[in-house]
């Protein structure tokens, strides 16, 4: 009696089920309704977890894998945050009003966008589809808890049969929120704006050009879990794409893109009280890239070949203002780190027989990584590392997934994959990067080896016309796991830090993921979905659980359509973090219950539509701490959000 | 004893000319900055004081004396005498300061040496450098440089932060004198090789009254010290050290060389524990070298 509102399939970009009248695409951003921020949207998903350091810029986690272990692709672009403290994950520069889809890709599919152990987050931007001459949408919302304003606007115009443009903009401003005890959680405020222009130009019936230009600016962003906030986070991204379909010929589809993105991130502690030392910490990330992909379909095969290149440059430094009137201090934390990467990816979906399909994927990536700044190199000499040129890494993955349809009701999948990923820039060359979660300064290790993982994945799904139930499990065995290990010979640099950790390869770590999903459509108006997840992981060398393993969490969603009124009731229960990775800064959290209700009511107007929306999130005003929240920062208490949406 | 010669008795040293003149190339100044030029008393020979830095300063200075114009006769030796002239209560008190090196001397130049100025030029005290070139004990030329020695001032105000460390050696009048010199010229982020110059000062018999010649204090290079060092950022917001440092070890008369790793710019101490046999002269809680960059 259950219908999934979500599942995590291995081999689908868009997890969509067609059950009776119910069609729910988990990855597709709700059309025209951009009330949620990307953070909210990621937080509500079942196939993604987030790390919260405050009220903004949540860091995505895929089944316990994070940072260098996952890849982020924004409209086909590799994007790397510019903050050494991970305060600006690439997703923080997105707005739902710009997005068509936000997908979480795992195993086979994920490798198309980067060599990633855990998966890939792929954001597809919204382009004009030339189907409407003009559409304008405006939405404003008010949040009671944070005295917050959210507004967005989009204009989509078809200029000719061949050419269309779309502008979208968003602005958000929120004060600090209060928690479930009605206590103000200081430094959770944020403000941001986003402007995006996309265009489609049809060269012919089979060819088109696309272009994107996006500017995002975050301001006065608080991070209560850290020592500093963010004064400014600016991102400028642009790309030009080309697509061609071939009705005949050896290949069926060709797609190519060139892109560039530039991110400037400035940390700020000017609003903090009682800081040990005032600091400026700017960071810069610039990425230039291009890729081309071709597809070929035969009777039994779907072949994809992709080649991509990117060049990423990272720079970050710190100026520390002596509180005692002494000389100011300066150091580089990312000393002009340049990574040039070339990768090729081959994928084949082979229909072995009507019931059995084999999906294979092979990716090879070669990268050159260099610490270019002479000062940065001299700093590393203090650790007895003498860098005189770039290092080369070969990484990649191989995966095979069998999909077997036992009968019309039972489907199963079994996959195995091997992935070897190169160390990230911070893991190689980071210099005294303070991690506010475990309160250690982190030092990179330039001679790290690749981290390797073998994963086994199994899914079983049983479905009938109006309901389905299924389960999925994954086990990963990691070799040369990269983790910070305490180095007692080194003094910490950050005031209040507990010591220094250096990134090291440790012999073994394992992680498992298990979930049950189910859903039922009681009627055309009423449906219910359930998702239960539990994860586990252990690092042998540290005798510690792996971080970011999701404790048992159950999510329920009941949706009901009463005439024109759409309503949904959401209930989440988590046992809380019971086995924290204390060695890496996690702490126990209590179980919690979370209830959200949402209503939407359309008002019919002449030649336009008006929607009135109301949401009450954390209806019970529960005081709770997200299991992955840094330093026990509590979540927002009850928030009443009202919205008006107007579309012409 | 070999040390006797190196003890610079009366702070005067005679440097024999190096017969191999190729060690000094007049076309290529051996040190970057010309500090001052003087004619000798007979107005025949011009001698230039050169330094590795734009100004002389309190602490260790890398200097050389180079002739310009007429060439001095070969086979002579150089005599150098730094003097501080202090005016106190209507009387002139004089003292000298230790130095090392000048090993590559010839008839063109003295070779490079290191003078450790114990104090800067002050309102009541000025420095001179008296230089002579002798041939078979006969003076060929004499020069006197009136020089300015700048004080090193730090933003950090701590009386134990020193450019020149001076601590008593036991109960007598002897004093341990130490100065530092970064081999690359200035300290910088990263790995820094540095020299420690160490001397024992013995008081003059008449406290340097009168014309001073023959009655200045004595500086003896110390060669048997054990130096343990800890680079450290004393700023209250920092309060940390750095990894993988190397303690200074003896390399030549009065000179020790070590490695100090500076992980960032700022104010850095080099704390030291200095001992000689059973005698400990300095601990890390006492005076320390200090630099800001």
Select from B150, B184, B219 the last residue of a domain: B150
Domain edge (last residue) among B127, B150, B173: B150
Mutant choice from B192, B234, B237 vs A, greatest count of A C-beta within 10 A:
B237
Q: What is the CATH number of the domain that holds A632?
A: 2.40.170.20
- Maximum mean pLDDT: which of A177-186, B38-47, B166-175, B233-242: A177-186
Asked if residue B242 is part of any domain, the answer here is yes
Task: Output the six-digit token pair for B68.
Answer: 């310009």
Distance between CA atoms of B111 and A641, rounded to whole angstroms? 82
Q: Rounded to whole angstroms, how far apart are CA atoms A371 and A378?
A: 10
Instruction: Identify whether the C-beta of residue B281 lies closer than 8 Å to the C-beta of residue B201.
Output: no
Count of structural domains, chain A: 1
Closest CA–CA distance from residue B259 to any residue of chain A (Å): 10
Cross-chain residue pair A322–B235, CB shorter than 8 Å: yes
- Answer whether residue B250 is part of any domain: yes
Residue A5 lies in a domain: no
Give the pLDDT of residue A514. Answer: 96
B209 is a domain residue: yes
**A1 within domain boundaries:** no
Q: Which of B154, B157, B261 sits opposite A382 (nearest CB)?
A: B261
From CA A523, how far away is CA B263, in angstroms rounded?
67
Confidence of residue B205 (pLDDT cuts 50, 70, 90): low
Mean pLDDT calculated for residue range A293-320 = 96
Asked if residue B236 is part of any domain, the answer here is yes
Contact between chains at A378 and B239 (C-beta distance less than 8 A): no
Q: Rounded mean pLDDT of A316-333?
A: 93
Res B170: pLDDT? 79
Average pLDDT on A322-350 reads: 95
Question: CA-CA distance, B292 to B269, in Å (whole number)?
Answer: 9
Rounded Cα–Cα distance for residues A587 and A439 (Å): 13
Nearest CB to B235; choose among A326, A431, A489: A326
Q: Is residue A3 part of a domain?
A: no
Residue B6 falls within a domain, yes or no?
yes
What integer pLDDT is reported at residue B43 of this predicted model? 87
CATH number, domain containing residue B183: 2.60.40
Looking only at the bridges linking them, the beta strands covering A499-521 and A440-443 are parallel
Same domain for B112 and B200? Answer: no
Query: Which phi and psi angles does A87 have, rounded to 5°?
Result: -85, -10
Q: Percent helix, strand and coil across chain A, each rounded to 5?
A: 5, 60, 35
pLDDT > 70 in chain A, percent = 95
B195 and B131 share one domain: no
A120 vs A61: CA distance, rounded Å: 10
Same domain, B65 and B140: yes
Mutate to test the interface with B, among A228, A278, A327 (most CBs of B within 10 A): A327
- B122, B150, B178 - which closes a domain: B150
- Would you say A12 and A401 are in contact if contact means Cβ atoms under 8 Å apart? no
| Residue B88: other Cβ atoms inside 10 A | 9
Residue B275 lies in a domain: yes
Cβ atoms A64, A513 nearer than 8 A: yes
Instruction: Give the residue on A whose Cα is nearest the Cα of B245.
Output: A382
Q: Across residues A145-172, what is the average pLDDT?
A: 95
The predicted structure's pLDDT at residue A12? 37
CA dihedral (A407, A412, A416, A422) positive or negative: positive
Confidence band of B70 (pLDDT split at 50, 70, 90) = confident
Closest chain B residue to A328 measured between Cα atoms? B266
Q: Are B187 and B255 in the same domain?
A: yes
| Residue B155 lies inside a defined structural domain of this protein | no
B175: domain range? 161-292
| Mean of pLDDT over chain A | 91
Reply yes or no on whether the pLDDT at A249 is more than 60. Answer: yes
Instruction: Provide CB contacts within 8 A for B139, sequence distance 6+.
Output: B132, B133
Judgement on whether residues B244 and B140 belong to the same structural domain of the protein: no
**Mean pLDDT across A27-52:** 78
Bridge partners (DSSP) listed for residue B269: B232, B290
Does B156 map to a domain? no
- Whether A411 is in a domain gets the answer yes
CA distance B194 to chain A (A): 14
Domain presence at residue A4: no
Whether residue B278 sits in one domain with residue B231: yes
Please state the ipTM of this predicted complex.
0.85
Chains A–B, number of C-beta pairs less than 8 Å apart: 97
Tell me, yes or no, whether B203 and B278 share the same domain: yes
Q: How far is A277 from chain B (nearest CA, A)?
A: 6
- The reported pLDDT for the residue numbered B211 is 47
Residues A395, A147 contacting (CB under 8 angstroms): no
> Nearest C-alpha of chain B: how many angstroms from A45?
42
Domain identity same for B203 and B123: no
Domain of A62?
Answer: 16-647
User: At B24, is the pLDDT very low, low, confident or very high (cuts 50, 70, 90)?
Assistant: very low
Residue A41 lies in a domain: yes
Contact residues on chain A for B242, CB-CB shorter than 8 A: 382, 491
- State the pairing for strand pair A451-463/A467-486: antiparallel
Residue A544: pLDDT over 90: yes
C-beta atoms of B237 and A323 within 8 A = yes
The yes-or-no verdict on residue A27 having pLDDT over 70 is: no
Percent pLDDT > 90 in chain A is: 82
Phi, psi of A574 (to 5 degrees): -130, 140
The total domain count for chain B is 2
Higher pLDDT pick, B27 / B85: B85
- Domain match, B23 and B136 both: yes
Do B227 and B192 lie in one domain? The reply is yes
Whether residue B183 is found in the same domain as residue B278: yes
Mean local confidence (pLDDT), A560-582: 94
Higher pLDDT, A41 or B63: B63
Mark whether B8 and B125 lie in a shared domain.
yes
Q: Rounded to 5 degrees, what are φ and ψ at A91?
A: -65, -20
pLDDT at B42: 84
Answer whether A533's CB lies under 8 Å from A553's CB. yes
Q: A382 vs B263: CB contact, 8 Å cut-off?
A: yes
- pLDDT band of residue B8 (cuts 50, 70, 90) is very low
User: Would you state the pLDDT for residue A110?
Assistant: 81
pLDDT band, very low/low/confident/very high, at A467 (cuts 50, 70, 90): very high
Q: Are B263 and B227 in contact (CB under 8 A)?
A: no
Per-residue pLDDT, A29:
59
Closest residue of chain B to A378, computed from CA coordinates: B190
CB-nearest partner of B190 from A320, A329, A378: A378
In this structure, the number of other CB atoms found within 10 A of the CB of residue A488 comes to: 7
Interface test with B, best of A274, A324, A385 (most B CBs within 10 A): A324
């Amino acid at each position: 009696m259950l219908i999934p509102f979500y599942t995590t399939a291995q081999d689908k970009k868009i997890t969509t089920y067609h059950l009776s009248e119910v069609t729910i695409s988990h990855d597709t951003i709700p059309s025209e309704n951009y009330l949620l921020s990307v953070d909210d949207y990621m937080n509500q998903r079942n196939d993604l977890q987030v790390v919260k350091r405050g009220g903004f810029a949540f860091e995505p986690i895929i089944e316990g894998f994070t940072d260098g272990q996952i890849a982020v692709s924004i409209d086909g672009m590799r994007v790397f945050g510019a903050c050494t403290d991970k305060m600006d994950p690439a997703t923080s520069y997105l707005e739902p009003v710009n997005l068509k889809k936000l997908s979480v890709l795992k195993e086979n599919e994920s490798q198309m966008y980067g060599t990633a152990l855990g998966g890939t987050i792929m954001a597809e931007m919204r382009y004009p589809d030339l189907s409407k001459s003009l559409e304008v949408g405006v939405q404003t919302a008010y949040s009671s808890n944070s005295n917050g304003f959210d507004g967005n606007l989009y204009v989509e115009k078809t200029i000719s049969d061949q050419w269309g443009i779309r502008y979208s903009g968003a602005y958000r401003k929120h004060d600090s929120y209060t928690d479930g005890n009605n206590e103000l959680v200081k430094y959770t405020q944020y403000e941001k704006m986003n402007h995006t222009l996309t265009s489609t130009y049809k060269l012919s019936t089979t060819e088109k050009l696309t272009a994107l230009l996006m500017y995002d600016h975050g301001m006065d962003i608080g991070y209560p879990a850290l020592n500093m906030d963010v004064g400014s986070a600016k991102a400028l991204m642009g790309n030009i794409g080309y697509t061609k379909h071939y009705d005949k010929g050896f290949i069926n589809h060709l797609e190519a893109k060139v892109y560039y993105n530039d991110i400037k991130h400035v940390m700020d502690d000017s609003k903090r009280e009682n800081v040990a030392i005032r600091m400026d910490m700017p960071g810069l990330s610039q990425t230039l890239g291009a890729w081309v992909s071709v597809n070929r379909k035969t009777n039994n095969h779907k072949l994809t070949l992709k080649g991509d290149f990117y060049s990423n440059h990272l720079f970050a430094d710190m100026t520390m203002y002596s509180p005692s009137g002494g000389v100011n201090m300066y150091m580089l934390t990312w000393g002009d780190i340049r990574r040039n990467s070339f990768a090729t990816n081959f994928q084949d979906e082979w229909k072995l027989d009507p019931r059995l399909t084999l999906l294979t994927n092979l990716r090879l990536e070669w990268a050159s990584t260099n610490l270019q700044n002479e000062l940065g190199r001299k700093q590393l000499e203090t650790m007895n590392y003498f860098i005189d040129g770039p290092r080369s890494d070969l990484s990649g993955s191989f995966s095979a997934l069998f999909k077997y349809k036992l009968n019309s009701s039972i489907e199963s999948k079994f996959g195995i994959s091997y992935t070897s990923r190169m160390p990230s820039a911070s893991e190689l060359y980071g210099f005294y990067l303070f991690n506010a979660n475990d309160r250690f300064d982190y030092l990179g290790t330039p001679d790290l080896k690749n981290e390797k993982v073998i994963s086994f994945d199994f899914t079983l799904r049983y479905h009938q016309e109006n309901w389905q139930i299924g389960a999925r499990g994954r086990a990963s065995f990691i070799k040369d796991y990269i983790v910070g290990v305490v180095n007692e010979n080194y003094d910490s640099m950050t005031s209040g830090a507990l010591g220094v950790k250096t990134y090291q390869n440790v012999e073994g770590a394992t992680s498992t993921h298990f979930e049950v999903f189910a859903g039922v459509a009681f009627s055309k108006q009423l449906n219910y979905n359930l998702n239960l997840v539990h994860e586990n992981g252990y690092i042998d060398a540290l005798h510690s659980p792996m971080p970011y393993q999701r404790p048992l969490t159950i999510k329920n969603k009941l949706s009901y359509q009463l005439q024109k009124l759409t309503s949904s009731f959401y209930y989440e229960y988590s046992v809380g973090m019971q086995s924290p990775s204390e060695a890496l800064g996690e702490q126990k959290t209590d179980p919690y219950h979370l209830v959200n209700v949402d209503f939407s009511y359309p008002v019919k107007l002449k030649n336009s539509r008006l929607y009135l929306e109301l949401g009450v999130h954390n209806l019970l005003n529960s005081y709770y701490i997200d299991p992955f929240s840094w330093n026990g920062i509590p979540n927002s208490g009850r928030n009443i959000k009202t919205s008006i949406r107007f579309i012409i | 004893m070999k040390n006797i010669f190196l003890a610079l008795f009366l702070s005067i040293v005679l440097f024999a000319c190096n017969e191999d003149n190729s060690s000094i190339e007049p076309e290529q100044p051996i040190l970057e900055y010309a500090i001052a030029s003087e004619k000798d008393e007979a107005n025949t020979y011009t001698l230039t004081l050169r330094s590795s830095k734009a100004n002389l300063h309190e602490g260790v200075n890398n200097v050389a004396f180079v002739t310009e114009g007429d060439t001095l006769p070969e086979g002579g030796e150089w005599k150098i005498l730094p003097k501080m002239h202090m005016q106190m209560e209507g009387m002139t008190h004089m003292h000298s300061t230790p130095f090392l090196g000048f090993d590559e001397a010839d008839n063109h130049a003295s070779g490079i040496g290191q003078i450790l100025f114990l104090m800067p030029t002050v309102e009541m005290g000025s420095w001179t450098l008296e230089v002579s070139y002798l041939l078979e004990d006969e003076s060929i030329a004499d020069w006197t440089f009136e020089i300015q020695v700048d004080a090193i001032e730090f933003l950090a105000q701590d009386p134990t932060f020193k450019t020149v460390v001076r601590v008593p050696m036991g109960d007598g009048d002897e004093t341990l004198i130490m100065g530092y010199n970064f081999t690359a010229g200035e300290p910088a982020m990263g790995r820094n090789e540095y020299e420690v110059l160490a001397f024992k000062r013995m008081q003059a018999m008449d406290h340097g009254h009168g014309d001073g010649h023959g009655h200045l204090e004595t500086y003896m290079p110390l060669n048997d010290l054990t130096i343990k060092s800890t680079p450290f950022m004393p700023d209250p917001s920092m309060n940390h050290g750095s990894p993988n440092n190397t303690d200074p070890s003896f390399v030549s008369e009065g000179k020790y060389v070590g490695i100090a790793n500076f992980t960032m710019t700022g104010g850095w101490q080099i704390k030291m524990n200095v001992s000689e046999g059973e005698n400990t002269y300095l601990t890390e809680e006492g005076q320390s070298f200090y630099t800001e960059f």
